């Protein structure tokens, strides 16, 4: 009878579980929406709970990863009064634009 090892425990389930989390970690590293320098980690946890007679034991294997969080999407809102009602714009209503085809200068939102 073969003794249990990490490779043989539950028919190598820990290796399969690790590979799943490792792929998640690689995808997280490659994600432009995460910090490139944040540390990532994978934790393998093996719990063994012996029976009352100490002749058997229940075994639970779990693998989890701690990944870099997604960076928040940031934007600047410009606030302006429109007939006494406050309105929000992503473009500055006070910023002038140049119409190169006609040569006109106008303010955005005006």
Residue-wise pLDDT tens digits, 61-81: 999 999 999 999 888 888 888
* Residue 2 in domain: no
Same domain as 58, residue 22: yes
99-103 long-range contacts, Cβ below 8 Å, gap at least 24? none
Same domain as 84, residue 61: no
> Within the chain, which residues score under 50 in pLDDT?
none
Q: What is the predicted pLDDT for the residue at 100?
A: 67
Q: What is the predicted pLDDT for the residue at 41?
A: 98
Total structural domains within the chain: 2
Q: Which domain holds residue 41?
A: 9-66
- Cα dihedral 74, 75, 76, 82, rounded to 10, equals -140
Which contiguous run of DSSP H or E holds residue 105? strand 104-107
Q: What is the predicted pLDDT for the residue at 99?
A: 64
Confidence (pTM): 0.66
Same domain as 60, residue 82: no
Q: What is the predicted pLDDT for the residue at 107?
A: 61
Q: Which two tokens stand for residue 78?
A: 């410009």
Same domain as 14, residue 57: yes
Same domain as 90, residue 62: no
Same domain as 15, residue 57: yes
Q: What is the predicted pLDDT for the residue at 76?
A: 85
């Amino acid at each position: 009878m073969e003794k249990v090892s990490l490779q043989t425990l539950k028919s190598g389930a820990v290796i399969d579980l690790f590979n799943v989390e490792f792929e998640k970690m690689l995808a997280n590293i490659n994600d432009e929406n995460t910090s490139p320098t944040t540390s990532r980690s994978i934790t393998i946890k093996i719990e063994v709970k012996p029976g009352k007679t100490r002749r058997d034991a229940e075994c639970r294997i779990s693998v989890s990863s701690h990944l870099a969080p997604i960076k928040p999407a940031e934007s600047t809102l410009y606030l302006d009064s429109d007939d006494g009602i406050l309105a929000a714009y992503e473009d500055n209503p006070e910023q002038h634009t140049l119409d190169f085809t006609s040569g006109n200068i106008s303010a955005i939102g005006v």
